Structure 1
Amino acid sequence: MDNIKVLVVDDSILMRRMISDMINEAKGMEVIDTAKNGLELIEKINMLNPDVVTLDVEMPKMDGLEVLKVFKERNINTPVIMLSSLSKKGAEITMKCLELGALDFLSKPSGSISLDINRLQDELIHKIRCAGEKKKINKSKSFEVMHKPKVEKSKFSNIERSYGEYKAIVIGASTGGPKAIHSLITSLPKELGIPIFIVQHMPAGFTKAFADRLNNSSNLEVVEASHMSEIINNKVYIAPGGYHMEINNEKKITLNEEPTLWGVRPAVDKLFISASKVYGKGLISVILTGMGRDGAQGTEIIKDAGGYTISEDQSTCTIYGMPKAAYDTGRVDEVLPLHDIPAKLLALLKR
């Protein structure tokens, strides 16, 4: 199998060297070149044809955001992993980058030049492997006739429900999730009549920027959740990075720093399982794009408690990992492409 070819872009020579060393030490991948800014990347991209680009967010001459705009204009589909600082500005720009098509991102622990970034090596390598797989899938799809995504219903599908029986929606996502969640939430009306809880795998420092950008473009109010806050209908709660979000018996949001689950915190399963205990058959769950299997166990528990479960169809997923793991449990009521999920939710709520 050919190595995954990576092009590393950063304005810091030290950072370029550190990132390159991390990648070259990993089996099955290699750095084929580096660039010190976006202009240099644009000059090299077509000639080198990398499988993955690691891209610094803040650079002189042309930053990461401007690069992605050029990629979009020129229909360059190379998967991009952003490297961002933990500053407020860096977080806001990173959210824009994800909306423009960046596959994923990593946070730099402290500023643009930091030896601490070595602790992120495992995460960097894992995300490059996923991005490399995404590139291969895209290449194979270009030779296939693309069919309309099928809608699947499982034998567990619920019978017709009466108006108002569903009391809450829980949503889980990882890689590709910010863009998918934006599409879903902005398609819903202001008077939904129930709360929505979302776990998006994202580090601390970025979920506030994500919630703010979502709130500015949605009919519903979107907030980063806070500990012991009251749950209000027509409000969307985003789990803060670094904290598991759960619902307690008093129907309040609780946040905790218990050990990671599936290597992540917040974890989708933590939210799904706790919400199922509170809402029972009145709960709807949605598993969107993402790597891994977080949310599969929660999906089983929600279905067994009488709730309704949905997973995103492979055709619209950035990474078909979490939705597939949920579907493979046999407890998914319906498999839908992303653009059909809002209408399905409204039908279930009879809005």
Structure 2
Amino acid sequence: MIKLLIVDDSALMRRHLNGLFQAEGDFIIEQAHNGKEAVEANRNFQPDVVTLDINMPEMDGITALSLLMAERAVPVVMVSSLTEKGALATFEAMHLGAVDYVTKPGGTISLNINEIGVELVAKVRAAAKAKLKGNKVKGLAQRLREEREKPVQRAPSPRRAPVRDGIVLVGVSTGGPRTLEDILPHLPHDFPWPILVAQHMPPAFTRPFADRMNSMCNLTVVEAAQPMPVEPGHVYIGKGGADMVLGQRNGKLAVLAKPENKSYLWHPSVELLGRTALEQCDPSHIVAVMLTGMGHDGADAFAEIKKRGGRTIAEAESSAVVFGMPAELIKRGGAGVVLTSDRIASQLTSWAGC
């Protein structure tokens, strides 16, 4: 049995969520209607996993999360509104240690929670088994001040390195925002290869996520929402609600946002990104990195990249929040190197000759 704590200020939402998980038959459920009650229930009920709303009276979800992680760390799935403001709060939660998130399809009080029922149950089950990364809880004002004061060195704009020398593909899902913080900010400003990131994420979230990463990184991070030439020193985050592919524009390699290809289960699709990279690039110039996530998205394409002479990295089980996607790549014989997330940036830097 899985002990689940549902935290939401809406009695209606709590009732819907309770019914959803009761129907599964293997959840023991308690409820809290604000963050203060959640902290108390974490002590007394000691849940295996928590679903946590963000906007609540008396104590909001972000404050509650920081206390949960400091007192008794527990896997948390944030349940947030599908807005840009909700996205920013969700990324703050991921930074503080939340494992994953789901977005309410109908706003703060949703009568349509069953629309995301399958996703929510799957993410809660995965979170209950997830590894928690080291506690990063700090005072919010202190952490924001540190990020503002951190020197950010952008690659000089006149500099150009041939794209054919290398291109990095990154596939990631559950636990991805936090894991990418372990990698992208540690790449130097003169990193010579473009990086394309397919992170499973809804449409309203990818631009705020790209902006957040851009503020933390030496490289330029952008959301790939329109056709863009692929340039060194840039990180392209695939737009949510679309698929990111490689193609040609005016005779040059470009990153394109295409409508979701329904032949693939997850979006932005890692598999489709890998397949189009094989069509457009010499496989020996491709580096494919598979990070934490549920499922097998990208495993076949990345294994094919290795087979054709490309280099591949799978995140190690010891650091992966959810070992599904890296495990599938390893199972297919597609992992050239298996590394913990904190060693991936140095490996990429070494291969790029920085």
Output one character per residue of 1:78-104: Cα deviation in whole Å (capped at 9) or x when no partner.
Answer: 110000001221110001101111010
Who is 2:296 aligned against?
Answer: 293
For 2:91 and 2:171, locate their aligned partners in 1 and report how far apart those are by CA, in whole Å: 18
CA contact (8 A) 2:62 2:93 kept: yes
Distance 1:261 1:65, change over 3 A: farther
Output one character per residue of 1:177-217: Cα deviation in whole Å (capped at 9) or x when no partner.
Answer: 11111110000011111110001111111111111111111
For 2:54 and 2:209, locate their aligned partners in 1 and report how far apart those are by CA, in whole Å: 16
1:6 matched to 2:4? yes
Counterpart of 2:276 (choices 255, 274, 278) is 274
Amino acid at match of 2:129: E
> CA-atom RMSD, angstroms?
1.8
1:70 matched to 2:67? yes
Runs of 4+ residues deviating >4 angstroms: none
Who is 2:91 aligned against?
Answer: 95
SS of the residue 2:253 aligns to:
coil
For 2:108 and 2:19, locate their aligned partners in 1 and report how far apart those are by CA, in whole Å: 17
Distance 1:127 1:164, change over 3 A: closer
TM-score (norm 2): 0.87
For 1:324 and 1:265, locate their aligned partners in 2 and report how far apart those are by CA, in whole Å: 19
Who is 2:122 aligned against?
Answer: 126
Output one character per residue of 1:95-115: Cα deviation in whole Å (capped at 9) or x when no partner.
Answer: 110111101000011211121
Counterpart of 1:18 (choices 13, 16, 19) is 16
For 2:164 and 2:247, locate their aligned partners in 1 and report how far apart those are by CA, in whole Å: 20
Distance 1:287 1:79, change over 3 A: same
Output one character per residue of 1:37-79: Cα deviation in whole Å (capped at 9) or x when no partner.
Answer: 00011111111011111000111111111112112322x2211
Who is 2:25 aligned against?
Answer: 27
Who is 1:45 aligned against?
Answer: 42
Moved more, 64-73 or 45-54: 64-73
For 2:75 and 2:98, locate their aligned partners in 1 and report how far apart those are by CA, in whole Å: 7
SS of the residue 2:349 aligns to:
helix
Counterpart of 2:52 (choices 45, 51, 55) is 55
Counterpart of 1:334 (choices 334, 337, 340) is 337
CA contact (8 A) 1:221 1:234 kept: yes
1:319 matched to 2:315? no
CA contact (8 A) 1:58 1:90 kept: no
Counterpart of 1:310 (choices 284, 300, 313) is 313
CA contact (8 A) 1:260 1:267 kept: no
For 1:338 and 1:49, locate their aligned partners in 2 and report how far apart those are by CA, in whole Å: 29
SS of the residue 1:127 aligns to:
helix
1:114 matched to 2:110? yes
Distance 1:191 1:6, change over 3 A: same
CA contact (8 A) 1:293 1:321 kept: yes
CA contact (8 A) 2:52 2:78 kept: yes
For 1:229 and 1:30, locate their aligned partners in 2 and report how far apart those are by CA, in whole Å: 49
For 1:165 and 1:259, locate their aligned partners in 2 and report how far apart those are by CA, in whole Å: 27
State percent identity of aligned pairs: 37
CA contact (8 A) 1:84 1:94 kept: yes
Structure 2 alignment gaps of length 5 or more = 133-161
CA contact (8 A) 1:169 1:283 kept: yes
TM-score (norm 1): 0.88
Amino acid at match of 2:73: N
Alignment of 1:138-157 (within 5 A): none
Who is 2:258 aligned against?
Answer: 256
Structure 1 alignment gaps of length 5 or more = 137-162
1:345 matched to 2:348? yes
Amino acid at match of 2:95: E
Amino acid at match of 2:303: E
SS of the residue 2:218 aligns to:
coil
CA contact (8 A) 1:164 1:349 kept: no
How many angstroms does 1:261 deviate by? 5.2
The number of residue pairs the alignment matches comes to 322
How many angstroms does 1:122 deviate by? 0.6
Amino acid at match of 1:296: A
SS of the residue 1:252 aligns to:
strand
Amino acid at match of 2:185: T
Output one character per residue of 1:112-159: Cα deviation in whole Å (capped at 9) or x when no partner.
Answer: 1121222111111111111222379xxxxxxxxxxxxxxxxxxxxxxx
